[in-house]
A and B are shown apart, each in its own frame.
Chain A
Amino acid sequence: MRPIHVSGKASIDVSVNLRRASPRRLLAWTVATVAAVFFLLPIVWLLLEPTKPMFDTLGGTPPLEFGSFTVLQAWWYELFSSSTVYIPAGPILDWLKNSALYAGSGVVIAVALGLPAGYGLATFEFIGRRLVLFVTLMTMLIPSNALVLPLVLEANSVHLLGSPLAVILPYGLFPFGVYIAYLYFNTPRIHGLIASARIDGASEWQAFRRVALPLATPVIGLIALLDFVASWTNYFLPFLMYWPSSITGRYPVSVGIALQLIQPPPTNGTYLGNLDLALATPAPEEALLLLLSVAPVILVLVIAQRWIGSGRLRGVFGG
C-alpha cells in the first residue's frame, strides 16, 4: 500500500520511456493515420464534390480534386433559389427548419423533464423510486429503434401520424439523460449541499433551483448534446411518421436527403448489372444538400471537441 504519489510519479517516467521507443511510436502513428484517412476521406470528398460542374462527375474531374468557387456558388443558388430546377423551392429550407424544430423541442423537453427527474431520484425516497430507476435503465439500454414501430402504431391509433408531436415527444424522452443527472446528483457532495440548504430554511424547490441547478451546467450540456445529435440524425422514426402519408413539407432533413434518391428506369433482366446511382438532383447538388444536413451536428461536435477528447464523457458514448 504505497502512497499514491509515488506510483503516480513512477508511471509518468514509464510513459515517457515508452514514448521515446520510436519504432513502436512510429507504428502507432502509422496505424492511427491510416484509420484517420478511412474515417475522413468520405468527408473530404463531400467537401470537394459541390465545387464541380454537373457533367464532370462521372469520370470527369478526379474525385479528390477541387473544382471552383464559382461552381460551388452556382450550386448554392440552385439549391435555394425559387426557380430551382431539381428540387421544388422551399423544401430544403423547410426540412432544415423542421429538423431544428423537432430536435430543438426534443432537447428542451429532455432537459426540462430529465434534470428534475434525475434530481428527484437521487435526493428523495418515495414509493416506486426503484421501479422508475429500473424502467429508466431498461429504456436507455434498448436501442432507440426498438420503440419506433410501437410508437408509429400508437401514433396511427390516435391519428397523430404526420403531426410534429409524433416525433417531438419521443425525442423528448431521453432516459439516458435522467440516468446521467441521477448519477450527478447522487453524490455525498450534492446530498450535503442540499441538506445544508434545507437547514438554512430553503424549500425543496429553492434547494433545487438555487443550489443543485447552478451546479448542473455540465449535465445540462451533456444531455443537450447527446439528445440533439440523436434526434437530428434519427431517420427511422420520422421516416415512418411522415413518409407513408407523403407529407414532404413536414420532413426533417434526414428524411429529405433520402427523398432525392429516385428509382432508376428498369433494365432488362433482374441482375443489377449496369445500375448506377440515380438521383433527383445532380451529384454535386446532392452532396451540398448532404453537407448542409449534417453541418449543425458537425458544428456541435466541434464545439464539444475538447470535452469529448478530454475523456470527461467516458463511458457515455454508445449507450
Chain B
Amino acid sequence: MSVAEPRRSNWRSMGGETRLGRSARTRSSGPRRRSPAGYLFVGGYVVLLALVGIYPVAYAFNLALTTIGGAFTGASNFVNTYKDFRFIPAFAHVAEFMAIWLTALVVIVIGLSLVAHSLSRRVSAAFRFLFYLPAAFAGSASVMLWLFMLQPGLSPWDFVLQAFGYTSLGDSLVPGDLPIVFALIAFWTGAGAWILVIHGALMNVPDDVLEAAALDGAGPLQTALRIKLPMIKKWIVYMLIVAFAGGTQLFAEPQLISQVSRGLAAGFGSYGSWSPNQLATSMAFQTGNFNYAAAIAIDLLAIALACAGILIFRTGLFKAD
C-alpha cells in the first residue's frame, strides 16, 4: 500500500499538481492550530490585498455604475460604451488575435514539448531554456524588438519580408494583418513558459504506462496522441484558459503599434482603440470619462474572473484545504 498510494494519486491528478498540490498527503496531516496568531502572520498581506486588489475593483465597479457627478445610473455606462462604434470592433480584433494565438499555442507548444520530452535530459533542459529566454522581453521590449524584426532592410528576417514583397514597415503592419503580428509577438515572448509547463506535465506521466504502451507496440506518434496528450489534458485546458484570459487584456502590442503608425494601424492617439484595454484607456485619458473606462474594465474583469472560477472549480488543479 505504501508503494501504491502515491502512484494512485499520481494517476488521478496527473501533471504538476502532485508537486504543487500534495493533496493526498496534506489531508492526512494533523489539524492546524487554532490560534489568533494566524491573523498576525496573514494580516500584512491581507491589508495589501485589500488596498491594491479588492478596493480598486470595488471602486471601479462603483464608478461603472455612476455618472461623472456621482449619481447612480444603473447599467447606462455599460450600454453607452457598448454602443460606442469602437467597442465591438475592439473585441472582434482581440477574438481574431486569440484564434491565431491559441491555435499556435496548442499546436506548436504541445509539439515542441513532446519533442523536448523525447530528447535526453540535458539536451532537453538546454533547449527549454533557450525557448524560455524571450520571456525576458515581455511587455514593451518584445514589441520594440519586433518593430525592428518587421522593418525591411534592418531585419534578420529580411529574406522572409522580401519573399512577401514588403519594402517598408507599413507593408508589415497592414491593419488586416495586425492579429497575426500580435500573435507572433505574443508567441515569441510567451511560448517558452508554456513549454516549461506542458513539458513538466509530460514528465509526470508514469514511466510504466509508457513502457506498457511500447510493449503493446505503440509507435511514438500513437503514444503521444493516445497516451500522453489525454493524460496531460488538464494542463492543456489550463494553458488555454489562462492564455484566453490574458489575451483579452492585450495592450502593449497594439498601443505601441498604433503610436508608430500614427494611428493608421491600431486607432488614433497615444492610446489607440484596437483592443478593449486601449479603448478604456482612451476613454479615461483622452475623453476624460473615467466612468466609461471603468465600465469596460469591469467587462474585462468579468471575463477574467469567470476564467479563474472555471480553473478553480472545474479543473481541480488548485487545491486549498
| A277 and B260 contacting across the interface, CB-CB below 8 Å | yes
Indicate whether B46 reaches chain A with its CB closer than 8 angstroms: yes
> Which residues of B (263-304) have their CB < 8 Å from a CB of A?
264-265, 270, 277, 280-281, 284-285, 290, 293-294, 296-297, 300-301, 304
Task: Pick the contact of A142: B17, B188, B200, B305 (CB < 8 A).
Answer: B305
| A153 and B297 contacting across the interface, CB-CB below 8 Å | yes
With A49-B148, A134-B320 as contacts: A123 and B33 at CB distance below 8 Å: yes
- The 8 A CB mask of B77-107 against A (1 = contact, 0 = none) is 0000000000000000000000000000000
| B53 and A1 contacting across the interface, CB-CB below 8 Å | no
| B265 and A272 contacting across the interface, CB-CB below 8 Å | yes
Chain B residue numbers with a CB within 8 Å of A152 are 284
A123 to B297, CA, bound (A): 37
- The 8 A CB mask of B220-236 against A (1 = contact, 0 = none) is 10000000000000010
| B252 and A263 contacting across the interface, CB-CB below 8 Å | no
Distance in Å: Cβ of B296 to nearest Cβ of chain A: 8
- The 8 A CB mask of B143-168 against A (1 = contact, 0 = none) is 11111110101111110000000011
Distance in Å: Cβ of A309 to nearest Cβ of chain B: 3
Chain B residue numbers with a CB within 8 Å of A71 are none
Distance in Å: Cβ of B300 to nearest Cβ of chain A: 6
A121 to B35, CA, bound (A): 12
| B158 and A63 contacting across the interface, CB-CB below 8 Å | yes
Task: Pick the contact of B139: A123, A126, A235, A318 (CB < 8 A).
Answer: A235
A39 to B56, CA, bound (A): 37
| B141 and A7 contacting across the interface, CB-CB below 8 Å | no
Residue of B nearest to A275 (CB): B170
A119 to B42, CA, bound (A): 8
Residue of A nearest to B174 (CB): A272
With A187-B29, A263-B259 as contacts: A308 and B38 at CB distance below 8 Å: no
- The 8 A CB mask of A131-147 against B (1 = contact, 0 = none) is 01111111101110111
Indicate whether B116 reaches chain A with its CB closer than 8 angstroms: yes
Task: Pick the contact of B136: A151, A172, A301 (CB < 8 A).
Answer: A301
Indicate whether A64 reaches chain B with its CB closer than 8 angstroms: yes
> Which residues of A (137-187) have their CB < 8 Å from a CB of B?
137-139, 141-143, 145-154, 156-157, 169-170, 172-173, 175, 178-180, 182-183, 186-187
| B60 and A275 contacting across the interface, CB-CB below 8 Å | no
| B188 and A39 contacting across the interface, CB-CB below 8 Å | yes
| B60 and A149 contacting across the interface, CB-CB below 8 Å | yes
Distance in Å: Cβ of A106 to nearest Cβ of chain B: 11
DSSP majority for the B interface? helix
With A141-B308, A236-B277 as contacts: A39 and B38 at CB distance below 8 Å: no
| A261 and B20 contacting across the interface, CB-CB below 8 Å | no
Indicate whether A248 reaches chain B with its CB closer than 8 angstroms: no
Indicate whether B173 reaches chain A with its CB closer than 8 angstroms: yes
> Which residues of A (173-203) have their CB < 8 Å from a CB of B?
173, 175, 178-180, 182-183, 186-188, 191-192, 195, 198
| A138 and B312 contacting across the interface, CB-CB below 8 Å | yes
DSSP majority for the A interface? helix
| B4 and A236 contacting across the interface, CB-CB below 8 Å | no
Task: Pick the contact of A145: B49, B60, B251, B262 (CB < 8 A).
Answer: B251
Task: Pick the contact of A311: B55, B137, B203 (CB < 8 A).
Answer: B203
Distance in Å: Cβ of B111 to nearest Cβ of chain A: 7
| B201 and A14 contacting across the interface, CB-CB below 8 Å | no
- The 8 A CB mask of A306-319 against B (1 = contact, 0 = none) is 00111101111111
The size of the chain A interface, using a CB distance under 8 A, is 139
Task: Pick the contact of B133: A8, A40, A315 (CB < 8 A).
Answer: A40
Chain A residue numbers with a CB within 8 Å of B131 are 35-36, 39
The size of the chain B interface, using a CB distance under 8 A, is 149
Chain B residue numbers with a CB within 8 Å of A54 are none
Task: Pick the contact of A274: B56, B168, B207 (CB < 8 A).
Answer: B168
Chain A residue numbers with a CB within 8 Å of B42 are 116-117, 120-121, 126, 129, 132
User: A-contacting residues of B (Cβ < 8 Å)?
Assistant: 3-4, 7, 15-17, 19-22, 25-26, 28-42, 44-46, 48-49, 51-57, 59-60, 63, 108, 111-112, 115-116, 118-120, 123, 125-141, 143-149, 151, 153-158, 167-171, 173-175, 188, 190-194, 196-197, 199-201, 203-204, 206-208, 210-211, 214, 220, 235, 239, 242, 245-246, 248-249, 251-252, 255-256, 259-262, 264-265, 270, 277, 280-281, 284-285, 290, 293-294, 296-297, 300-301, 304-305, 307-309, 311-312, 318, 320
Given contacts A139-B53, A154-B55, A233-B138, 17 further A-B contacts (CB under 8 A): A11-B207, A19-B120, A45-B148, A45-B156, A119-B41, A138-B308, A149-B281, A149-B293, A150-B297, A187-B25, A235-B139, A258-B144, A263-B259, A264-B260, A283-B154, A294-B136, A318-B196
Contacts A/B (CB < 8 Å), 19 sampled: A3-B3, A31-B111, A45-B148, A116-B44, A125-B34, A137-B318, A143-B249, A149-B284, A149-B297, A150-B59, A150-B297, A169-B51, A183-B20, A240-B281, A263-B262, A272-B170, A290-B145, A311-B199, A318-B197
User: B-contacting residues of A (Cβ < 8 Å)?
Assistant: 1-4, 7-8, 10-11, 14, 18-19, 24-25, 28-29, 31-32, 35-36, 38-46, 49, 57-59, 63-64, 109, 112-114, 116-117, 119-126, 129-130, 132-139, 141-143, 145-154, 156-157, 169-170, 172-173, 175, 178-180, 182-183, 186-188, 191-192, 195, 198, 204, 208, 229, 233-236, 239-240, 243-244, 254-255, 257-258, 261, 263-264, 266, 270-278, 283, 286-287, 290, 293-294, 297-298, 301, 305, 308-311, 313-319
